Chains A and B, each alone.
Chain A
């Protein structure tokens, strides 16, 4: 499971005043002991959600010369939040490679870009399979589903409710109010559909362009291909939240009411808070994190795990799967966990039954093929961390004394052989002694 690291560094609060001008880099840390957060800074960008859930937050400015993600080869933090869309280079030892390394070694990221996003932020996004609009001044514009406000603006504040349908990612409570968004759009690498997911996509009428200039060529990003908020779950289960709007974290956006153009319902409060709180729970592995333990297999009727099986053996396979609820490991309940008996291709593919206490098990017959097999569980479900278990097990053919000793079908041949022998004996006897 995601390791919760001991805080070996006390958070240093910095003055909220400075956030107003310089977009800071926020470092976020999970303490092992769930201390109340020490920082009660509510800056321009609302960040209450981590504190209220027992995380230690550490705020740093992007150009702080001392910021570092690791010290003596060990990471100081479990997650990193980048609220600095326009920073060209960080102070300290953080650069693109450091951020990617941080992620590749299993830590989580929240990245907020915005129009005028710097190359650095674009490249971080690019490394994760997300491409922001090339035009630095482009923002997402929607003349149909924009958010109604007092001043008829340029329709860059859009209200979107095109969310991914997943209880694991967005929580079981439905997000009713549209989400306010103002910022840059991005697209996903199409070859990439497993790792990157659109969580909040723009409406079909949206497009990405510079609102100040006249549109000479058709925009690159149009319609629901535009992703407003995306998540990434890498192979090592590290998670990233990428959004094109920094202002959607803004307190003002959190608190303001919202009415979608063309719609009569006016919501008292935008969906931003609920959406971002829920999705941050997912990003910080408070939800949708599975672990598999106690992989066992044995022959039916036995309990010891053999070193190898024989073809056509009956065997039982079991594994315990638990889900992290944010506070404890709960039994995972699903009817779609499958085990493969695999040698270059699956010879057996069976859905495992479970006992509601997390124990998944099944039994099957070893195929009539010998070789080095693997028990494989490849469980990849939307929103959950992927489970990938494999255990090698050779399957041998019959031994020489495990075949049937006498085959009924061969009795005529046995008879033929023995009658021949008897006949030859009698013939020889007669031939030699008849005269």
Chain B
């Protein structure tokens, strides 16, 4: 795929007589790409090698369960699947609330392999979907960057993306989440957009819509595309780069893309109803107005045109004002102003933490810290500015898109950790451009400085690529100069050939002027290679150590060797084997997907946080005293309550550390739960200084029940303190299972009381009798004995 394109691109360059070398370059590029794909796949296998071939984390378990259902029941049943094992008693219409792209992809792969008589299990296919698609993603990056800056930049960017830690974190083997395929779809959609922009071909425009459809199927992040591309179109229009190619790149995407997006059940009418999509329609209108203006300009004389402009502008402004007023009124009348909470938190980073605790509570929705940038994109952070500069020399439609892409994604990644994932490809593309341009400059300098080597013969891969890239830029320039005429590809190449000779001559001059001293070039090259090596080392380390843990199995190294904590699966297996199939299990929503997938038990809330009230109910129960909690759970038919407790082994992301979010989310709906009641002087603590509300809430009790029996003191190794209340009994719950390291504790609700006791034991009865006696004497008039 790559090879012929390279050769065709290279034909009209300086080295027309050197077709063989170009062919060689093409083959080389092809093999490099192949190796990049292999590397992208294999660097993600650390998790399988170090742990086992399992599904990771939380959401992937849901996707896995859905894929199993799809593989077993077919697509129509999947589409209409009403899941009664989650969100009890509301249930969830899976077919209409899930982005089906990932599931359908893996299901198709599974079906295809099985029809070839390769009997892989659904789980295996799911585990390896992400690595396969990261190889595709790196190839898509190559294509995109090649469209922008040529083959060399493309190969560099592909290699960078294949191992960028940010992307690895979401696509290691077993991390079977939407992002696994969505990043590929994102990059590929951008590639097709750029390709359409460069060629003006309706064929690519249609492909672009289909790629966009796949992206909509795969991930809610598609709104990034449908906002970024309009922004770019607007940028092009504003900077006077309007062309028919731009029109062809954008108009079909909006029309076809919106129609296709509306076909996805989870999007449906949102594709035309929500504010996220308004920008695209607005730009669609603007584009047509601009196209119309250009058309009018072509037909009218300049004087007439001026008159027309003033007329239209005055009328148009009035109409626009009216339309905008109507739009604002419409949007303002909806309670969230037409924006979903997640999108609002993108625009106003403080929005979520102020108003929607359920969004703010998710760790991946938090703003990232600076070290996380270094961790996730490493040296790319330093190369990105250089890449942006490279994009400006010269600025083409394609490179302006890259600049816009990186600017937008930097902003979004600063808002939400999760969107680092969107930022990473942009960083790879710009860094690839920067690296390849730098290599260009240095190798050319060396070439011009070294005596006895003619410039014609000394051609390395980078040189070829730079030449092609520049040739393309020239092509873009030439196109720009005659943008009103309709460029067919055949015409274009002819024109390029005409202009080729003078431009290359000028270029050679320019190169000589730009040449750097030999020694500094060599040293810089070495430093760049060193930088690259550092990046590779970091990426491999990140892949092997930081991002491969499946999070359902934990390991820790201590002086006496490796410890494996397999408590989660132990607990889920217990639930699966020891409870009735229709029993309901309540836990904080984090563990909902895993419980349904691994234990096959009905849960009250899960990671699809669609119903805030329901989650708040569980949060309230966890923050209430035992009796109130029992009543809440009993009203939901809950049989078992599951808590995750890390105090014994020092597992920090346990329910006690998440507890304040439960209080906040619960308090958001049920105002009798107040956060200050759980804090002592604004501090969250569970030691003897903790508030009575804290020490009596269900979460504290379920976590620390019998904890003092482990070491006699009740020392919590996560909070690094002794717990406040050590000896207590449970009255409404009974412990039924605690895993080996106490990480998961399962409690059963006691049945409702068979009878209600009288008021008292001895001591109490005296006080009550005296009080009632006092009452009687108080109401002396009614007493017949006085």
A42 at interface, CB cutoff 8 A = no
> Is the pair A396, B82 in contact by a Cβ cutoff of 8 Å?
yes
> Is the pair A343, B756 in contact by a Cβ cutoff of 8 Å?
no
Which of A3-11, A231-239, A420-428 is the contact stretch?
A: A231-239
Taking CB atoms, residues of chain B closer than 8 Å to A374 are: 89
Given contacts A372-B89, A373-B89, contact A235 B754 (CB under 8 A): yes
> Is the pair A219, B755 in contact by a Cβ cutoff of 8 Å?
no
A interface residues, tally (CB under 8 Å): 44
> Is the pair B769, A220 in contact by a Cβ cutoff of 8 Å?
yes
Cβ-defined partner of A125 (8 Å) among B754, B758, B761: B758
> Is the pair B757, A129 in contact by a Cβ cutoff of 8 Å?
yes
B773 at interface, CB cutoff 8 A = yes
Contact with A along B755-768 (1 / 0, CB 8 A): 11111111001100
Given contacts A370-B82, A372-B88, A373-B89, contact A218 B776 (CB under 8 A): yes
Contact with A along B83-104 (1 / 0, CB 8 A): 0100011110101000000000
Contact with B along A101-127 (1 / 0, CB 8 A): 001100000000000000100000111
Q: Which of B64-90 contact A (CB under 8 A)?
A: 76, 79-80, 82, 84, 88-90
User: With A and B bound together, what is the CA distance between A130 and B759 in angstroms?
Assistant: 8
B712 at interface, CB cutoff 8 A = no
User: With A and B bound together, what is the CA distance between A394 and B91 in angstroms?
Assistant: 8
Taking CB atoms, residues of chain A closer than 8 Å to B769 are: 134, 220
* B381, chain A: closest CB distance, angstroms: 47
User: With A and B bound together, what is the CA distance between A291 and B145 in angstroms?
Assistant: 76
Contact with B along A204-235 (1 / 0, CB 8 A): 01010000000101111011000000001011
Cβ-defined partner of A371 (8 Å) among B91, B636, B786: B91
A95 at interface, CB cutoff 8 A = no
B274 at interface, CB cutoff 8 A = no
Given contacts A191-B756, A235-B753, contact A219 B785 (CB under 8 A): yes
> Is the pair B760, A131 in contact by a Cβ cutoff of 8 Å?
yes
A400 at interface, CB cutoff 8 A = yes
* B93, chain A: closest CB distance, angstroms: 6
A32 at interface, CB cutoff 8 A = no
B240 at interface, CB cutoff 8 A = no
> Is the pair A234, B754 in contact by a Cβ cutoff of 8 Å?
yes
Cβ-defined partner of A205 (8 Å) among B93, B758, B784: B784
> Is the pair A371, B90 in contact by a Cβ cutoff of 8 Å?
yes
> Is the pair A235, B82 in contact by a Cβ cutoff of 8 Å?
no
Taking CB atoms, residues of chain B closer than 8 Å to A223 are: 784
Given contacts A131-B760, A397-B93, contact A218 B80 (CB under 8 A): no
> Is the pair A129, B765 in contact by a Cβ cutoff of 8 Å?
no
Contact with B along A391-404 (1 / 0, CB 8 A): 01010110110000
> Is the pair A126, B755 in contact by a Cβ cutoff of 8 Å?
no
A33 at interface, CB cutoff 8 A = no
Nearest A residue (CB) for B776: A218
User: With A and B bound together, what is the CA distance between A308 and B754 in angstroms?
Assistant: 33
* A118, chain B: closest CB distance, angstroms: 13
User: With A and B bound together, what is the CA distance between A131 and B90 in angstroms?
Assistant: 44
Q: Mostly helix, strand, loop or mixed at chain B's interface? A: loop
Which of B84, B762, B776 has the most C-beta atoms of chain A within 10 angstroms of its own C-beta?
B84
A344 at interface, CB cutoff 8 A = yes
A195 at interface, CB cutoff 8 A = yes
* A186, chain B: closest CB distance, angstroms: 9
* B45, chain A: closest CB distance, angstroms: 39
* B674, chain A: closest CB distance, angstroms: 25
User: With A and B bound together, what is the CA distance between A274 and B602 in angstroms?
Assistant: 53
Taking CB atoms, residues of chain B closer than 8 Å to A191 are: 756
Taking CB atoms, residues of chain B closer than 8 Å to A189 are: 756-759
Given contacts A131-B765, A134-B769, A218-B777, contact A236 B89 (CB under 8 A): no
Contacts between the two chains (Cβ within 8 Å), count: 105
User: With A and B bound together, what is the CA distance between A375 and B87 in angstroms?
Assistant: 19
* A305, chain B: closest CB distance, angstroms: 15
* A242, chain B: closest CB distance, angstroms: 11
Contact with A along B562-597 (1 / 0, CB 8 A): 000000000000000000001000000000000000
User: With A and B bound together, what is the CA distance between A215 and B79 in angstroms?
Assistant: 80
Q: Which of A174-209 contact B (CB under 8 A)?
A: 189, 191-192, 195-196, 205, 207
Which of B76, B90, B757, B759 has the most C-beta atoms of chain A within 10 angstroms of its own C-beta?
B757
Given contacts A205-B784, A235-B753, contact A370 B91 (CB under 8 A): yes
User: With A and B bound together, what is the CA distance between A314 and B333 in angstroms?
Assistant: 39
Cβ-defined partner of A400 (8 Å) among B79, B582, B753, B755: B79
B783 at interface, CB cutoff 8 A = yes
A128 at interface, CB cutoff 8 A = yes
> Is the pair A344, B89 in contact by a Cβ cutoff of 8 Å?
yes
> Is the pair A232, B755 in contact by a Cβ cutoff of 8 Å?
yes
Taking CB atoms, residues of chain B closer than 8 Å to A370 are: 82, 91, 93
> Is the pair B754, A104 in contact by a Cβ cutoff of 8 Å?
yes
> Is the pair B82, A234 in contact by a Cβ cutoff of 8 Å?
no
B301 at interface, CB cutoff 8 A = no
> Is the pair A397, B82 in contact by a Cβ cutoff of 8 Å?
yes
Q: Which of B730-786 contact A (CB under 8 A)?
A: 752-762, 765-766, 769, 772-773, 776-777, 783-786
Nearest B residue (CB) for A310: B82
* B256, chain A: closest CB distance, angstroms: 15
> Is the pair B783, A394 in contact by a Cβ cutoff of 8 Å?
no
Which of B84, B758, B761, B769 has the most C-beta atoms of chain A within 10 angstroms of its own C-beta?
B758
Nearest A residue (CB) for B93: A397
B635 at interface, CB cutoff 8 A = yes
> Is the pair A308, B752 in contact by a Cβ cutoff of 8 Å?
no
> Is the pair B756, A192 in contact by a Cβ cutoff of 8 Å?
yes
Taking CB atoms, residues of chain B closer than 8 Å to A129 are: 755-758
* B758, chain A: closest CB distance, angstroms: 4
> Is the pair A128, B755 in contact by a Cβ cutoff of 8 Å?
yes
* B593, chain A: closest CB distance, angstroms: 18
User: With A and B bound together, what is the CA distance between A195 and B635 in angstroms?
Assistant: 20
Which of A129, A207, A220, A372 has the most C-beta atoms of chain B within 10 angstroms of its own C-beta?
A372
> Is the pair A195, B756 in contact by a Cβ cutoff of 8 Å?
yes
User: With A and B bound together, what is the CA distance between A370 and B776 in angstroms?
Assistant: 54
Taking CB atoms, residues of chain A closer than 8 Å to B761 are: 126
Q: Which of A343-366 contact B (CB under 8 A)?
A: 343-344
User: With A and B bound together, what is the CA distance between A392 and B93 in angstroms?
Assistant: 18
Taking CB atoms, residues of chain B closer than 8 Å to A343 are: 89-90
> Is the pair B84, A372 in contact by a Cβ cutoff of 8 Å?
yes
Nearest B residue (CB) for A345: B635
* A367, chain B: closest CB distance, angstroms: 13
Taking CB atoms, residues of chain B closer than 8 Å to A392 are: 582
Which of B636, B773, B786 has the most C-beta atoms of chain A within 10 angstroms of its own C-beta?
B773
User: With A and B bound together, what is the CA distance between A191 and B754 in angstroms?
Assistant: 14
User: With A and B bound together, what is the CA distance between A370 and B772 in angstroms?
Assistant: 51
Taking CB atoms, residues of chain B closer than 8 Å to A396 are: 80, 82, 91, 93
Taking CB atoms, residues of chain B closer than 8 Å to A218 are: 773, 776-777, 783, 785-786
User: With A and B bound together, what is the CA distance between A144 and B93 in angstroms?
Assistant: 70
User: With A and B bound together, what is the CA distance between A220 and B772 in angstroms?
Assistant: 7
* B535, chain A: closest CB distance, angstroms: 48
Contact with B along A300-343 (1 / 0, CB 8 A): 00000000100000000000000000000000000000000001
User: With A and B bound together, what is the CA distance between A153 and B82 in angstroms?
Assistant: 77
Taking CB atoms, residues of chain A closer than 8 Å to B582 are: 392
Which of B91, B602, B773, B785 has the most C-beta atoms of chain A within 10 angstroms of its own C-beta?
B91
Taking CB atoms, residues of chain B closer than 8 Å to A103 are: 754-755
User: With A and B bound together, what is the CA distance between A189 and B88 in angstroms?
Assistant: 36
User: With A and B bound together, what is the CA distance between A125 and B776 in angstroms?
Assistant: 24
* Cross-chain pairs A/B with CB under 8 angstroms, 22 sampled: A126-B759, A128-B755, A128-B758, A131-B758, A131-B760, A131-B765, A196-B756, A207-B785, A218-B783, A220-B773, A223-B784, A235-B753, A235-B754, A236-B754, A308-B84, A370-B93, A372-B84, A372-B90, A394-B82, A394-B91, A396-B91, A399-B80
Lowest 7 A-B CB distances belong to which pairs?
Answer: A396-B82, A394-B84, A126-B758, A372-B89, A399-B80, A234-B755, A192-B756
Other A-B contacts than A131-B765, A218-B783, A396-B91, 6 sampled, CB-CB below 8 A, are A127-B755, A195-B756, A218-B773, A372-B88, A394-B91, A400-B76
